[in-house]
C-alpha cells in the first residue's frame, strides 16, 4: 500500500513538472540586416539604356573612363577581352585622312577591341562638352554643304563606338542624325543642338 501511494505521488510530480515547462519556442529570427537579401544587379546592367528626357543625358549614365566603357561593352557583348589603348596617330590610320578630320578634334581617348565581325572596333571617349561640339560641327557642315551625311558612329552619354550598326543593335546606343532621315518608325530624342536627334531605327 505504501509502495502504491509512492508510485501515485511520483506520477503526479512528473505530470506537474511537464505542465510547468514553457512551450517550445520557434528559432529566433536574425536581425533584418542579417537576413538573406536578393542579389544585386550587375554593376553595369542597364546603366546605359536610354532614359526619359532630351539631349545627351537622355542616353543614360555618363561614362568618364575607358575602364568603365570597356567593362560595360565586354559585359554586354561577351567579347572585347583584348582592349588595346591607341594614340591619335592610330586614330588617323584607323579612320583615314578624310574621316579623321570629322572626328579627331572631339576625341579625348580611344582604344580598340575585337567584337565580331570586327577585329578592331573603336571605343571612344569625349571630353566634357565635346559631344555637343561634335553636333554643332556636324550641323554646320551639313548646312554649308561640307558634309553630306550623318555620323556613322553610335553614341552613348560621353562615349561612342565606331561601328554604328553594331552599337545600335547590340549595345542599345543611338545614331546622331543632324540630316533628316526618312524613317517614321525610328525612336528619337532631341540631341543638344537644334536640328539634331539621337535615333534608333525600328527594325521590327
Residue 29 has pLDDT above 70, yes or no: no
Residue 116 has pLDDT above 50, yes or no: yes
Residue 159 has pLDDT above 70, yes or no: yes
Mean pLDDT of 109-127: 97
Handedness of CA 40, 44, 45, 50 (dihedral sign): positive
Partnered with residue 85 across adjacent β-strands are 111
Report pLDDT for 23. 44
For the chain, the average pLDDT equals: 82
Confidence at 111, pLDDT banded by 50, 70, 90 = very high
Confidence at 53, pLDDT banded by 50, 70, 90 = confident
DSSP output for 50-107: --SSSSGGGGSS----HHHHHHHHHHHHS---S-EEE-HHHHHHHHHHHHHHHHGGGE
Report pLDDT for 202. 82
DSSP output for 137-204: HHHHHHHHTS--S---SEE-SSEEES-HHHHHHHH--BEEESS----TT-EEEE-SSTT-EEEE----
Report pLDDT for 164. 97
Report pLDDT for 49. 56
pTM recorded for the entire structure: 0.75
Residue 41 has pLDDT above 50, yes or no: no
Confidence at 204, pLDDT banded by 50, 70, 90 = low
Judged by average pLDDT, the poorest of 40-44, 79-83, 125-129, 159-163 is 40-44
Cα angle at 189 between 168 and 176, to 5 degrees? 50
Amino acid at each position: 500500500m505504501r509502495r502504491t501511494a509512492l508510485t501515485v505521488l511520483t506520477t503526479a510530480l512528473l505530470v506537474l513538472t511537464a505542465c510547468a515547462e514553457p512551450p517550445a519556442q520557434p528559432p529566433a529570427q536574425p536581425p533584418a540586416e542579417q537576413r538573406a537579401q536578393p542579389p544585386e544587379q550587375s554593376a553595369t546592367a542597364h546603366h546605359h539604356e536610354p532614359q526619359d528626357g532630351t539631349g545627351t543625358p537622355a542616353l543614360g549614365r555618363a561614362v568618364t573612363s575607358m575602364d568603365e566603357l570597356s567593362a560595360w561593352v565586354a559585359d554586354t557583348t561577351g567579347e572585347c577581352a583584348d582592349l588595346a589603348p591607341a594614340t591619335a596617330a592610330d586614330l588617323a590610320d584607323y579612320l583615314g585622312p578624310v574621316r579623321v578630320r570629322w572626328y579627331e578634334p572631339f576625341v579625348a581617348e580611344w582604344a580598340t577591341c575585337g567584337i565580331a565581325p570586327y577585329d578592331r572596333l573603336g571605343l571612344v571617349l569625349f571630353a566634357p562638352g565635346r559631344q555637343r561640339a561634335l553636333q554643332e560641327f556636324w550641323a554646320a557642315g551639313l548646312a554649308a554643304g561640307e558634309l553630306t551625311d550623318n555620323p556613322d558612329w553610335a553614341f552613348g552619354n560621353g562615349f561612342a563606338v565606331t561601328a554604328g550598326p553594331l552599337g545600335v543593335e547590340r549595345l542599345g546606343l543611338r545614331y546622331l542624325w543632324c540630316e533628316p532621315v526618312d524613317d517614321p518608325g525610328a525612336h528619337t530624342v532631341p540631341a543638344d543642338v537644334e536640328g539634331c536627334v539621337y535615333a534608333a531605327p525600328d527594325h521590327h
